Amino acid sequence: MTPATSEADTAAAADHRAVGLVLRRPVRTLGIEAFYNDFMAGVEDVLTAHGRALVLQVVPDMASELDAYHRWHERGRVGAVLLVDVLVPEDPRLGLVDELGFAALALAHPDDAGDHAVLWTDESAVVQGAVDHLIALGHSRIGRVAGPVGFSHTQRRTAAFTEAVRAVGGVPAVANADFSPEGGAAAADELLRSDAAPTAVMFDNDVMAAGAVDALTARGLRIPDDLSVLAGDDSVLCRVTRPPLTAMSRDIHALGEQAAQALLRLVDGAERTVIAAVPPRLIARESTATPR
């Protein structure tokens, strides 16, 4: 006869359920995007030390992501989730994960995550550091290639960017893309075809910045003589691109560790927490210079 399972045994089993992470990204883009590779490595290092696994699901759209949470709930393998790329004005995942009983940590501004625990980066400070660098070099017409417009961090960065550039009498311009090299190149081309073409462009990630540099140099533009380029994430890609890319740099592996630790505390019964991530610092390289 199988002995009855006590409540303590059930709780112990639940304590070792996996942590789930769903990414709405093309698989080909994810393979070259250093941010999530480093982030997941940090998460897994902490989870492994606590006897847990990370379950990753890559999906094409929101409907598929919501379906993944339902399947995880039905199978009982996943007990906690990390929410990334939070949408505004309303993200359907926020209510669903509560309804299904998952512990959840969102990588988002506290005002965009409802009542959930958050690990957030001060996007205005990130953008201000990048703009200050370009303004100090003498740029006044500055472009920004942003991520998808529905993401909360995209909207916050764009608002901070527009305010920072206008505050010093500059001319801001924004184009949105999908984080891919091709998207970054197309968005940069859109900005450069405007009547007040920017002399510097900052990109939301390293992949778009590198893709734009490759496409623009193939057309005969010289970086940074004709255009300064600044990447929103730092990576090996920034260092091997020619010229090497000025970038906002932060320890993404440590961010992943911080996220996992916070989520484990929630699983153990901690109250909702708001945790500020260490802000990035600017690494100046050869892709930014004084405008001609």
Give the pair of three-digit tokens for residue 46: 């902490």
Q: How far apart are CA 51 and CA 37, in angstroms?
A: 21
Q: Which pLDDT score, from 0 to 100, does residue 251 have?
A: 94
Q: Which pLDDT score, from 0 to 100, does residue 9 have?
A: 41
Asked if residue 52 lies in contact with residue 16, where contact means CB atoms within 8 angstroms, the answer is yes
Q: Terminal CA-to-CA distance of the chain, rounded, Å? A: 83
Q: Which pLDDT score, from 0 to 100, does residue 2 have?
A: 38
Q: Which pLDDT score, from 0 to 100, does residue 203 have?
A: 98
Q: Which pLDDT score, from 0 to 100, does residue 272 have?
A: 86
Q: Which pLDDT score, from 0 to 100, does residue 249 have?
A: 95
Buried b vs exposed e over 114-132: b needs ≥16 C-beta within 10 Å?
Answer: bebbbbbbebbebbbebbe
111 — phi, psi (to 5°)?
-75, -10
Domains of the chain in sequence order: 7-121+251-280 (3.40.50.2300), 123-249 (3.40.50.2300)
What is the number of alpha carbons within 13 Å of residue 133 lying toward its C-beta?
24
Cα separation values, 25 from 69, 77, 110, Å: 16, 23, 24
Cα separation values, 15 from 7, 103, 104, Å: 12, 11, 14
Q: Which pLDDT score, from 0 to 100, does residue 15 have?
A: 58
Which residues in the chain land under pLDDT 70? Answer: 1-15, 29, 31
Q: Which pLDDT score, from 0 to 100, does residue 279 have?
A: 87
